[in-house]
Amino acid sequence: MSTKTSVSGSTVVSREKKRAAAMRTQRSGLRARWVRWTFLLPAILYILLFYGYPLYYSFSVSFERYDLQAEITGMAPFVGLTNYLTVFHNPVFQSVALHTLFFTMGSIIPQFVIGLALAVLFTHRFPLNRLLRSLFLLPWLLPLVVSATIWRWLFDQTNGIIDQLLTGMHLVPAHFGWLTTPVWALVAVTIANIWIGIPFNMVIIYSGLQSIAREFYEAAAIDGANGWQAFRYITLPLLEPVIGIVLMLGLIYTLKVFDIIYVMTGGGPANASQTLATWSYNLSFSQQLFGQGAALGNVILLIALAVAVVYVWWSGHTAKTYA
């Protein structure tokens, strides 16, 4: 007789289901349990081998002075937190951190706002709605290298159309070096990143909007609310969980961004568009300082985890508000 009690205080019906499931396995004995594990085992092994072990390796390398010499001789002395301290005290680190902050915030907020506006637009019924919505996915599905190459061409100093457009409107001097001027290099990659992130935001927010029941809006219309009031008092509050997910995922994905920046500016000029991710790559593979590169890579991971933890806390907190 099972003396297990379910945690959530389930009803009699689901307890029956659980008992039936347990009896199913018990009836066939140990063999059935063992067989079922074979379905899951490859995945568990895969996770341990391809995420667990490399992460462990990354942390252990970050505590060693692992450079080109170590790669050749196979000897890497343990140096504790030296790599982390070296990276933090590197004068480049401060500007890289600032760039990452600007790049991240400067990408997520416009992506979200534009995605939200588009999602709201697409909730209306109009001809071509379906077609346009699926066309919007194209930028997200292209290889990032392709998008980065296109944007590099758009921002080209000599013949890029952006330069020609803005010069024609007398906003900038002719042949402005967008990708070769500090500050503007970072702005350029941010703009490209916004473009790439809009479809994702739009799709997720759109499905969130779709799940808000029509009755709310009808009730509001009867009460005399206009479109903007309905948006502020019905749409936004009910969209909160989706907004939380989109912003959290956006933050983590933006921390990961590498291809765009590497292909458009290579982190230059002189680290002017370098972010934590591109600099980690630079340390490992351009400077062969694998220990420091691994250290920085781990820092990025920890930041991403912190974001996830904050999100979990926040969503639990707001769930209680509505409970």
By CB under 8 A, the residues from 216 to 235 that bind other proteins are 218, 221-222
Identify which range of 182-190, 229-237, 248-256, 314-322 contacts other proteins by CB under 8 A: 248-256
Q: Which is nearer to other proteins, 105 or 305 (CB)?
A: 305
If phi > 0 it is left, if psi is from -120 to 50 it is alpha, else beta; for residue 76 that is beta
Maximum CA extent, the chain: 83
The site map against other proteins for 99-138 (x = CB under 8 A) is -------------------x--xx-xxxxxx--x-xxxxx
- The correct pick among 96, 186, 194, 300 for binding other proteins (CB under 8 A) is 300
214 vs 317, which CB is nearer to other proteins? 214
Q: What part of residues 29-48 is at the interface with other proteins (CB under 8 A)? A: 32, 35-36, 38-40, 42-44, 46-47
CB of 182 to other proteins, least distance (A): 21
- Of residues 95, 308, 315, 318, which one binds other proteins by CB under 8 A? 308
Interface segment toward other proteins; rule CB under 8 A; list 8-16, 79-87, 178-186, 259-267? 259-267
Binding residue for other proteins (CB under 8 A) from 108, 255, 261, 272?
Answer: 255
Closest to 103 (Cα-Cα) out of 301, 224, 279 = 279
Q: Does 213 bind other proteins (CB under 8 A)?
A: no
29: left (phi over 0), alpha (psi -120 to 50) or beta: left
313 binds other proteins (CB under 8 A): no
Q: Residues binding other proteins: what is the number (CB under 8 A)?
A: 96
The 261-280 site mask, x for binding other proteins (CB under 8 A), equals: -xx-------------xx-x
Footprint of other proteins on 160-199 (CB under 8 A): 161, 164, 168, 195, 198-199
> Nearest approach, Cβ of 213 to other proteins (angstroms)?
15
Among 108, 116, 154, 179, binds other proteins (CB under 8 A): 154
Task: State the nearest-atom distance from the C-beta of 144 to other proteins, in Å.
Answer: 6
Over the chain, what HEC string results? Answer: CCCCCCCCCCCHHHHHHHHHHHHHHHHHCHHHHHHHHHHHHHHHHHHHHHHHHHHHHHHHHHCECCCHHHHHHCCCCECCCHHHHHHHHCHHHHHHHHHHHHHHHHHHHHHHHHHHHHHHHHHCCCCCHHHHHHHCCHHHHCCHHHHHHHHHHHCCCCCCHHHHHHHHCCCCCCCCCHHHCCCHHHHHHHHHHHHHHHHHHHHHHHHHHHCCCHHHHHHHHHCCCCHHHHHHHHHHHHHHHHHHHHHHHHHHHHHHCCHHHHHHCCCCCCCCCCCHHHHHHHHHHHCCCHHHHHHHHHHHHHHHHHHHHHHHHHHHHHHHHHC
Side-chain half-sphere CA neighbours of 66 within 13 A: 22
Q: Name the one residue in this structure whose structure tokens are 């806390």.
A: 313
Of 88, 216, 231, 281, the one binding other proteins by CB under 8 A = 281
CB of 115 to other proteins, least distance (A): 11
The residue within the footprint of other proteins, chosen from 305, 310, 313, 319 (CB under 8 A), is 305
Q: Is 297 in the site for other proteins (CB under 8 A)?
A: yes
Q: Which stretch binds other proteins (CB under 8 A): 91-99, 103-111, 150-158, 232-240?
A: 150-158
Name residues contacting other proteins, limited to 73-102 (CB under 8 A). none
